[in-house]
Chain A
């Protein structure tokens, strides 16, 4: 039984890892001398070997794996250099425990320089000696680079010096409670244990908030269903003047607005996922398996709290900026500035320009060249407006933002989606003209009709039609233009962006990727997407992956079913604590086997290899998603197998591609579904 359990358990661990995140790998390619970095020594060897045939597919000198070592490999590898100017790395000397003077001497003697010297108390390191150094001893550093030191000031004093407050959420649905975690720190920035009591007080401006004020109970800040706006919590270490504060925003609760509720869930889940991924990564590194089940349980709970179906295209997203105070409450308190006026004018111009673009895309003339020129001009105009909006002279203050809140909302939830719809429609026409899509078999507008106006359900839609659609734009519907808008509207939109469900989902993925970059050895990359199932001629487009790597890669489509399977296994694992008899033990193992079988099945189903792999380019009607000059397309002649959870056809999925090509571990992917002809 154990023989069967252990490998599956490890398999599942891998599944969990690959379910929730993807990793970047460290480049062995280009590291010709095998010293774990890429520097001018490596480039020099590649240069000397130019014109030679590579020794094989793993020849580190042949970065592009085309079998020949040439200047392209050399340049590809300079792009991979570990240090600036491809400098050769030196090992940092070990100066921990030395006096500051001795450490300084050792550092300069090694060809490096002394950077910041900070002080910190230490119970073990004598005053004046080095407690720690950064970079650490043995780390690769460039000649002349700085080594920062922390020098001991002697034993610490357990007197509160500062307070660190971490709320469970910064944005919360009305009626929910924030839990505050406090750390009281000594003069060395170390937590004092046992921690002194901290008292909390909620501060707010009645004119900028609404409803019942939040209530403090111990370290919990409770809100009421009618609470709205921004509140500041100040914590004070009891018996001292040491304080700290944070601000949180109360928005509509999930019961009133699906999306704010989703956001709340997502934000909380995101925090938990990030924390526990870190725990698991460290535990795996240290071989401390005891810590893993607990972290997995937390991960499971966090994942379970995500409503994956609601994150699909069918979700009606309604950006909710929380409580926006009426302008009457702002007048007099926040003066209108010239920048506010400029901002209002520019915002109006942006909206007009977006509408012009939409108009042109929806109703093109017969003269495509002229239309293209006009469109190009519009894009130039738009960029010029965005450039102006970024100038300090045009950055609005509180008055300007609140005065134009309606315009900004309309721009985000109406103008931008409409332009994107127009873009998709136009692309669809182009695809039809190119023979890539059928005119009769559906239309992306159908989905938008649902998304925007509560039309037929996705199930009905897909049952009645086999839509031709591009899903690729989904995560980026706020995308090209959206990115610019976010860049321009700055801090205010940071709040609105949190409500933007799809973008928030992308943020979650980015967190996965950031976290997992710390787990060495995994050569997996991927991206978040949405896709439908059993659609003939489906394609995953990948940039950043060589053809050779793609041809030998393992492709996984991780959907809701995998999450469910992981949930089931973790639930079963957690029941180990309730075993009280032989019968319980028997039931436990039986349950484990069932859960493992389910996990194995989910894993097997997730593993979907393409029918064929092609290297193509934008000029050859490929790479439509990325617009890249070259990309790899994984073709699924019979579409994807169902890996989702629940009845909605169109589901979020994380595409993971595992490859042995270390350089191929950083790539983007997107899914196209084309209806078969």
Chain B
């Protein structure tokens, strides 16, 4: 109820030049890609990062996120929520993956902003989504909608939206189930493995050069 007048004026003066903010809050799915054999389960983490990039820090106090996937290839089987919004005792967790092709996760914290600020770091895992690969092919995992709440306005208790600067989606390649290799084919596999390593090293070197150019 108190008017916070002078602080407003004072803060206004302090920010005369405007702050050069390099906000970089990213909401992403991890790993970025993975290859699964049909019939096997696999997990995808929903991760937020960069909460401490803004000054002052941001927090995540609630979220409602939709992730789409190819229902012809994948089946959603469950979700484990993280503990950074308070866990089961201090948050409401309400997932919905009954609609094929859409995985909705919803969580709202019962903790105060201050407690969340203490609990949360720059990045953490919101939830781990469980899938089972059904048939071969490639499916994108895409965040199609994300409503995130951050700090609340002290006077109104209404939460402010937490703006995501960047989304990082994921994909999964499902390989057909294959027969157990014959002993004679082990040598061939070994050769392929070595070739794969060499390719990865070249990729890494190329990426390093790319970063260097940017910097």
Q: Do A and B bind each other?
A: yes
Q: Looking at the assembled complex, report how far the CB atom of B160 sits from the nearest CB atom of chain A, in whole angstroms.
A: 7
Which 8 residue pairs of A and B lie closest in terms of their CB atoms, listed nearest first? A627-B8, A479-B6, A544-B155, A480-B7, A79-B157, A480-B6, A372-B17, A75-B62
- Complex: chain B residue closest to A667, CB-CB: B155
Provide the main secondary structure of the chain B interface.
Answer: mixed
Contact pattern, A 362-377, Cβ under 8 Å of B = 1, otherwise 0 = 0000001101110110
List residues of A whose CB falls within 8 A of some B CB.
Answer: 40, 43-44, 47-48, 50, 63-64, 70-72, 74-76, 78-81, 84-86, 361, 368-369, 371-373, 375-376, 379, 420, 423-424, 426-427, 430, 470, 472-473, 475-477, 479-482, 506, 510, 513, 525, 527, 529, 543-546, 618, 623-630, 663, 666-670
In contact, A75 and B159 (Cβ under 8 angstroms): yes
List residues of B whose CB falls within 8 A of some A CB.
Answer: 1-17, 61-64, 86, 89-90, 92, 94, 106, 108-112, 147-149, 152-153, 155-161
Most chain A CB within a 10 A radius of its CB, from B6, B7, B94:
B6
User: Which one, B9, B63, B112, B157, contacts A473 given CB within 8 A?
Assistant: B9
In contact, A666 and B110 (Cβ under 8 angstroms): no
User: Which one, B92, B152, B155, contacts A543 given CB within 8 A?
Assistant: B155
User: Which one, A71, A482, A624, contacts B64 given CB within 8 A?
Assistant: A71
- Complex: chain A residue closest to B93, CB-CB: A47
Please measure, in the bound complex, the distance between the C-alpha atom of A72 and the C-alpha atom of B156, giving whole angstroms: 12
Q: Assuming the A-B contacts A50-B106, A71-B147, A667-B155, are A472 and B12 also in contact, with contact meaning beta carbons closer than 8 angstroms in the complex?
A: no
User: Which one, B11, B17, B86, B90, contacts A369 given CB within 8 A?
Assistant: B17
Q: Assuming the A-B contacts A75-B149, A668-B155, are A375 and B13 also in contact, with contact meaning beta carbons closer than 8 angstroms in the complex?
A: yes
In contact, B5 and A670 (Cβ under 8 angstroms): yes
Please measure, in the bound complex, the distance between the C-alpha atom of A303 and the C-alpha atom of B155, giving whole angstroms: 29
In contact, B7 and A627 (Cβ under 8 angstroms): yes
Please measure, in the bound complex, the distance between the C-alpha atom of A630 and the C-alpha atom of B108, giving whole angstroms: 23
29 A-B pairs in the complex with CB atoms less than 8 angstroms apart: A47-B92, A50-B64, A64-B158, A71-B63, A72-B147, A76-B157, A76-B159, A79-B157, A85-B90, A85-B110, A372-B14, A372-B17, A423-B13, A427-B9, A427-B13, A430-B16, A470-B9, A472-B3, A472-B9, A473-B9, A476-B7, A513-B1, A543-B4, A625-B8, A625-B9, A626-B5, A627-B9, A628-B8, A663-B156
Q: Looking at the assembled complex, report how far the CB atom of B189 sits from the nearest CB atom of chain A, in whole angstroms.
A: 49
Q: Assuming the A-B contacts A85-B90, A543-B155, are A479 and B7 also in contact, with contact meaning beta carbons closer than 8 angstroms in the complex?
A: yes
Please measure, in the bound complex, the distance between the C-alpha atom of A628 and the C-alpha atom of B110, giving whole angstroms: 24
Besides the known contacts A625-B9, A627-B7, 9 further A-B residue pairs in the complex with CB atoms under 8 A apart: A43-B108, A72-B147, A75-B61, A75-B152, A85-B86, A480-B4, A506-B2, A544-B156, A668-B4
Q: Looking at the assembled complex, report how far the CB atom of A77 sits from the nearest CB atom of chain B, in whole angstroms.
A: 8
User: Which one, B1, B2, B8, B108, contacts A74 given CB within 8 A?
Assistant: B108
In contact, B4 and A44 (Cβ under 8 angstroms): no
In contact, B16 and A626 (Cβ under 8 angstroms): no
